Amino acid sequence: MRWEEFSKSCPKLAEVARARFTRDQLAMVGTLRKDGWPRISPCEVDIAAGHLFLGMMWHSTKAIDLLRDPRLVVHSVTCNREGTDGDIKLYGNAVDVQNAGLRAAFRDRIRARINWAPDEPSYHLFSVDIERVAYLVFGGGKQRIMTWDPERGFRQRSKLS
């Protein structure tokens, strides 16, 4: 489901993810290479027009991976080994965005964030079709796990270390 639908289905996790991606402006994206091996690559994340967008350089290896096999994971940048910021992980499929209005919304959003936007059509743009989400905080002596998927909805559990 699109970001907007996910936000309505699970506002608690959507807010955590939005805050984290807005703060870091970067995530790690996991894709599958042609030979089946995983690839992990940094990527900027932008939310606009009800979509979570991933913009990529034209013909980058991660973009080629997603055009061939759209399965991906978007993982927040881990900032410390204690895990006190938590890890947000979105699993789903990349949707190649060709719609001019959505591409304009992405360009407006990135321009507002960094005062620059890529020229058309010299970049790949994907919207993440979200299938499940997880957030894990494991630092500070307490482990907290929040997960969501459309079948089971939101779940949360905590455990003292």
Q: What pLDDT shows up at residue 81?
A: 81
Instruction: Quick: pLDDT tens for 60-113.
Output: 999 999 999 999 999 999 888 887 889 999 999 999 999 999 999 999 999 999
Does domain 3-133 fall into CATH 2.30.110.10?
Answer: yes
**pTM of the full structure:** 0.95
Q: What pLDDT shows up at residue 146?
A: 96
Residue 161: pLDDT band with limits 50, 70, 90: low
Q: What pLDDT shows up at residue 73?
A: 98
Tokens of 82: 């204690």
Q: For 134-145, what is the mean pLDDT? A: 86
Q: For 105-134, what is the mean pLDDT? A: 97
Q: For 137-160, what is the mean pLDDT? A: 89
Residue length, the chain?
161
- What is the rounded distance in angstroms from the CA atom of residue 95 to the CA atom of residue 125? 8
Q: What pLDDT shows up at residue 136?
A: 94
Let me know if 53 is exposed, middle or buried by CB neighbors in 10 A (0-12, 13-18, 19+): buried
Q: What pLDDT shows up at residue 79?
A: 80
Q: For 127-148, what is the mean pLDDT? A: 91
